[in-house]
A and B are shown apart, each in its own frame.
Chain A
């Protein structure tokens, strides 16, 4: 039987190769996701382990919870350094300040890129950790700094060069005293080393340090030393060994990236695998049907049903194994592609190493082998039901599957189930993640039902789609139309593969469009700002920038907004700190229960106004109290004095500075919104603001429309990223169209011969095949659009509290439709060539 299987595969090489390709891509995406995750982890391990090299014990403030948005739990008193130094077994100790800032050289800001931090790190002349100085020396005197060699090389910096450093108190003149080297790839991050005194003075850390590093004396292990140090520090201070600390930081950053990238990539990989499964199912269905006589012949000469089943599944197994192994290796390419994609968007993902871990291999192989087997099972079972007598009949056809009569019923059940799950997801009041997951499950069922029902809709859809083509191409288009409609089940399942990809493309487009519109809408409605200032390096803006802006003549209200992640009832929430006076001038909240902007003026030390979603989540009403815990461990009990609706900008709770500051000592604003004074000349004032903010080069000044444009740009980037990855699923479904057509042409050899004999030219024949391909693709994409729009609408309705509006993206829909048609034509090119190449005589005598 195995020999027969291998011979069969060899004889149907093209079909086998294309089928393998459709599995391979999905497997490569699965394996690539794991490879990439490991590479990123590896890179961060390297970075943090190297950063902590030579440091045995690290002392820092213990965070009240793990926060990705505000990880810094606050400083330690400098006096603690001496106390740690006095512990038995400490060889050397150093207090260190960690801050955010970057150099300005020749008026150019040399900040970080792509979400990585712009770091300022203090160092003593004789640091506890290991610093590899390659030129000059570690900063020793005030105003001296060191930079890393990558930056020095790329920006042409040298020892002795003068520059300016962006600090919380404005630009400070500095001199480069040294250049050091870091082995680990640090992505888009920048590092500037200063003296401890400078860092304390410039970054609001007088008498304070961020961490205390200690090296152990010979004979004292890091763990022992950590225990001893722990005994002398007060509560709320954390003592870790250097390795523990490195591991924790790496985990945190790795998680932050992993929690976004991994599920997205795996989800898209799962879609690709699903599409591949459709192709396998389709290809095997067609081949079994085409081989009816051959299989019946095998039965007449004594092959058992079991052997036929094994034969068909064996073929699927061989293809799946080969495809999985190649796909596993293709994972490296996929990982490289994703890194390249992030690079192209300006996000440098640090990666290191390239290894296939056990779980990568296991997952890829399990997925790559079981999914095709399951997909081939139904065709294989149908093969076993071929009666031996079929071998003797001319034009014997495959018996209809036992389940095929039930397929409308199954489709109906799936559809109803899908809708029920969707409705349940919409109605439930669990968290957004949970609801999204429920919605997704419902979506998959609905998609499956739609694919099953599609076969009944193929004929009418084909008729409509072919209309314009017939007007354009006449008879050939009619033939293409009729070819598409002659086996609706086959056309439907070929098209469905594309439906999945297109549905997701439309879904993300609808969600992104909705988000953009609602974000812009919210900003327009809620914030009466002319200018919006944010940080270039995804950080905070020094508070001093607010005063600098207020001093500009012609400036109206200037409202800084601080932001921190807090815990309320154990859940993570946003806390916004505003200046009530300027806030009242610039913000126009959408108040509930008769609230008004006058509430801003009433915000006191223990008061908060809260967003509607926050109120629902925590069952709060006006007059109720809640307790917020900040990452540094500070807590405050706040009373609700008003509830507003704003699911986009001011989510969570909003308090006045005087309530925010005690909770979060570093109260630098996250964004500053400002307004021109009435009658002021806009251009003059804006130029003045930009001049004033030269002292704070990380601050980026934008008009409201520039700002919304940039937010839309970011959404578009994310969208492009998703499109590129969804393109893989679309690609697989195109492979499916190619292989279906190749098989179909083989089936219709004699017809093609006749068409040629009665005067169909080769170009006409090619066009017939290409149009058939295009029509199939168009059907798939049309259904995909409907499903995508329905899902988009359901999700937006379901997540109504997130404030996204449903907008039908007409332009994109037209583009998608045209693209699907074009890609269909493209997919048809190769099969069309094969059809046109058929020798007329051979085709006619073909049995």
Chain B
């Protein structure tokens, strides 16, 4: 692990389809995400923010440009290496939690380790579960948990392998405001206390406001890259872009 940026994108373009019907979701994005930074990616729908996240996370291949995660260039990796990289270096938090209904909260959290065939240090496991506030819920099934609790399970699952970067796709999109606040605060803490790097896609200025940095996308390009904005300011930027 060096001290350089964890995620580096250079001239990343993503085009869907061909010929006249081709759609350019990304038109040459170059951006770095340093270690320990909480970044939010914003933009109107169709701006390419989700595509950027998918490409950065190795879920989608760019049509041009390169992406490097923690020193590894992932753009040309074949599926197997890419999957291993995701397993070891990337954490995911989804809008729809995506927990396995037949597993308990704890089993869901440990799922990446179980798939990778790794043992998780008991102290780290307990610490993590405690820090997401689920110590008394570990035996519960997802159906017995509230939306906020389910998302906390998902965050713990994303953190269990100590990933180099955690990608969150609208993590509060499916939650009420109280739960949203808890989730954002949890993400914030993981940056502050664990030094976690987070890239979060959101359309909610209040969510973005908790980040250290907000990247604005429009029409497949980075149009603004700001630090230390509050919700109001973010809202104004969003308005100005639209």
Interface residues of A (CB under 8 A from B): 474-476, 478-479, 482-483, 485-486, 750-751, 753-764, 840-841, 844
Q: A524 to nearest B CB, angstroms? A: 56
Residue B177 interfacial (CB < 8 Å): no
CB-based contact B101/A759 at 8 Å: no
Please name all residues of chain A whose beta carbon is closer than 8 Å to the beta carbon of B101 when the two chains form the complex.
486
**Set B79, B92, B100: member contacting A762, Cβ < 8 A:** B79
73-93 of chain B: CB within 8 A of chain A:
79-80, 83-84, 86-88, 90-92
Is B188 an interface residue, CB under 8 A from the partner?
A: no
Pick the contact of B102: A485, A757, A840 (CB < 8 A).
A485
A482/B112 in contact, CB under 8 A: no
B114 and A482 form a contact (CB under 8 A): no
Cβ of B235 < 8 Å from any Cβ of A?
no
Q: How far is the CB of A114 from chain B (nearest CB, A)?
A: 56
B103 touches A760 (CB 8 A): no
Tell me if B60 counts as interface (CB < 8 A to partner A).
Answer: yes
Residue of A475, A483, A750, A844 touching B111 (CB-CB under 8 A): A475
Residue pairs across A and B with Cβ atoms less than 8 A apart, 13 shown, are A479-B115, A483-B102, A485-B102, A750-B98, A756-B83, A757-B59, A759-B83, A759-B84, A760-B87, A762-B83, A841-B54, A841-B59, A841-B60
Determine whether the beta carbon of A764 is less than 8 Å from that of B115: yes
Contact (Cβ within 8 A) A750 B79:
no
Q: A758-B112, A840-B59, A841-B59 are in contact. Are A486 and B102 (CB under 8 A)?
A: yes
**Which residues on the B side are within 8 Å of A759 (C-beta)?**
83-84, 86-88, 90, 112, 115-116, 161
A634–B43 Cα distance when bound, in Å, is 107
Q: How far is the CB of B1 from chain A (nearest CB, A)?
A: 19
Interface residues of B in 99-124 (CB under 8 A from A): 100-103, 111-117
- Is B157 part of the binding interface, using a Cβ–Cβ cutoff of 8 Å? yes
Knowing A756-B83, A758-B157, A762-B80, the reply to whether A751 touches B114 (Cβ < 8 A) is no
Are A758 and B102 in contact, CB atoms less than 8 angstroms apart?
no
Q: Which residues of B lie under 8 Å from residue A485 when comparing CB positions? A: 102
B111 touching A758, Cβ below 8 Å: yes
Distance of A41 from chain B, by nearest CB (Å): 57
Contact B83 A474 (CB under 8 A): no
Contacts A751-B100, A755-B115 known; list 11 others, CB within 8 Å. A475-B113, A478-B114, A483-B102, A486-B102, A754-B92, A757-B59, A757-B86, A757-B92, A758-B91, A758-B111, A758-B112
Bound state CA distance, A485 and B60, in angstroms?
33
State A621–B35 Cα separation when bound (angstroms). Answer: 101
Task: Assess whether A760 is in contact with B83, with CB atoms less than 8 Å apart.
Answer: yes
Residue of A475, A751, A762 touching B115 (CB-CB under 8 A): A475
CB of B96 within 8 A of CB of A750, answer yes
A474 to B110 alpha-carbon distance, docked (Å): 13
Closest chain B CB from A653 CB (angstroms): 66
B117 and A474: CB pair below 8 A?
yes
Chain A residues whose C-beta falls within 8 Å of the C-beta of B92 in the assembled complex: 754, 757-758
B103 touches A482 (CB 8 A): yes
Q: What chain A residues lie within 8 Å of B54 (beta carbons)?
A: 841
Q: Which of B80, B98, B114 is the one whose CB lies under 8 Å from A474? A: B114
Write out the residue numbers on chain A whose beta carbons fall within 8 Å of the beta carbon of B87.
758-760
CB distance from B200 to the nearest CB of A (A): 16
Q: Could you tell me the distance in whole angstroms from the C-beta of B16 to the nearest C-beta in chain A?
A: 11
Residue with the greatest number of chain A CB neighbours at <10 A, chosen from B60, B86, B161: B86
* Chain A residues, CB < 8 A from B116: 475, 759
Among candidates A475, A483, A761, A762, residue contacting B114 with C-beta atoms closer than 8 Å:
A475
Shortest Cβ distance from A481 into B: residue: B102
User: Whole-angstrom distance between the alpha carbons of A485 and B107 in the complex?
Assistant: 15
Q: How far is the CB of B108 from chain A (nearest CB, A)?
A: 10
In chain B, what residue has the closest Cβ to A761?
B83
Closest CB of chain B to A386's CB: distance in Å? 21
Give the Cβ gap from B68 to chain A, nearest Cβ, in Å.
19
Q: Is the CB of B102 within 8 A of A754?
A: no
Q: Which residues of A contact B112 (CB under 8 A)?
A: 758-759
Contacts of A763 in B (CB 8 A): 80
Residues of B within 8 A of A475 (CB): 111, 113-117
Q: How far is the CB of A96 from chain B (nearest CB, A)?
A: 79
* Known A475-B114, A478-B114, A757-B92; contact A751-B83, beta-carbon cutoff 8 A: no
Distance in angstroms from B79 CB to nearest chain A CB is 6
The listed residue with most A CB atoms (<10 A of its CB), out of B60, B101, B114, B157, is B114
Docked complex Cα distance between A485 and B96 (Å): 23
Contact assessment for A760 and B115 in the assembled complex, using a CB-CB cutoff below 8 Å: yes
Min CB distance B60 to A, Å, is 6
Task: Report if A751-B98 is in contact (Cβ < 8 Å); known contacts: A757-B86, A758-B87, A759-B112.
Answer: yes
Shortest Cβ gap from B53 to chain A (Å):
11
Inter-chain contacts of B100 with A (CB < 8 A)? 479, 482, 751
Query: How far in angstroms is the closest Cβ of chain A from B98?
Result: 4
C-alpha gap A362/B79 in the complex (Å)? 54
Given the complex of chains A and B, what is the CA–CA distance between A750 and B84 in angstroms?
20
A760 neighbours in B (Cβ, 8 Å): 83, 87, 115
A497→B113 CA distance, assembly (Å): 36
User: In the assembly, what is the distance between CA of A474 and CA of B111, in Å?
Assistant: 11
Asked if residues A758 and B117 are in contact (CB atoms below 8 Å), the reply is: no
Closest to A754 in B: B98
Chain B residue nearest to A764 (CB atoms) is B115
A484's nearest neighbour on chain B, judged by CB, is B102
Which residues of chain B in 41-72 are interfacial with respect to chain A, using CB atoms and an 8 Å cutoff? 54, 57, 59-60
Give Cα distance in the complex from A840 to B54, angstroms. Answer: 10
Q: Which residues of B contact A756 (CB under 8 A)?
A: 83
A486 nearest in chain B by CB position: B102
Instruction: Please encode chain B, from 186 to 230, with 1 for each CB lying within 8 Å of some chain A CB and 0 for all others.
Output: 000000000000000000000000000000000000000000000
- Specify the chain B residue showing the minimal Cβ separation from A763: B80
Shortest distance in angstroms between A631's beta carbon and chain B's nearest beta carbon? 69
Tell me, rounded to whole Å, the shortest Cβ–Cβ distance linking A361 to chain B: 48
- Kindly name the residue among A483, A754, A755, A756 whose own CB sees the greatest number of chain B CB atoms within 10 A: A754
**A residues in contact with B157, CB < 8 Å:** 758
Task: Name the 7 nearest CB pairs between A and B, nearest first.
Answer: A759-B87, A475-B114, A754-B98, A486-B102, A482-B102, A761-B83, A475-B115
Residue of B nearest to A753 (CB): B98
- Chain A, residue nearest B97 (CB): A754
Specify which of B57, B115, B117 lies most central, judged by the most chain A CB atoms within 10 Å of its CB: B115
Distance from A484 Cβ to chain B, minimum over Cβ atoms (Å): 9
Taking the closest CB of chain B, its distance from the CB of A847, in whole angstroms, is 9
Q: Which residues of B contact A479 (CB under 8 A)?
A: 100, 111, 114-115
- Alpha-carbon gap, A764 to B117, bound state (A): 11
Cα separation A475 to B57 with both chains bound (whole Å): 23
Q: Is the CB of B94 within 8 A of A754?
A: yes
Nearest CB on A from B143, distance (A): 10
- Cβ contact within 8 Å between B86 and A758: yes
Q: Which residues of B contact A761 (CB under 8 A)?
A: 79-80, 83-84
On chain A, the residues within 8 Å of B88 by CB distance are 759
* Cα–Cα distance between A483 and B103 once the two chains are bound (Å): 9
**Distance, CA A482 to CA B114, complexed state (A):** 13
Residue of B nearest to A487 (CB): B102
- CA A754 to CA B112, docked complex, whole Å: 11
**Whole-angstrom CA separation of A837 from B201 in the bound complex:** 27
**B133 shortest CB reach to chain A, Å:** 21
Closest to B111 in A: A758
Q: What sequence of 0s and 1s flags, for each residue 177-189 of chain B, a beta carbon within 8 Å of any chain A beta carbon? A: 0000000000000
CB distance from B114 to the nearest CB of A (A): 3
Q: How far is the CA of A174 from the CA of B96 in the complex (A)?
A: 93
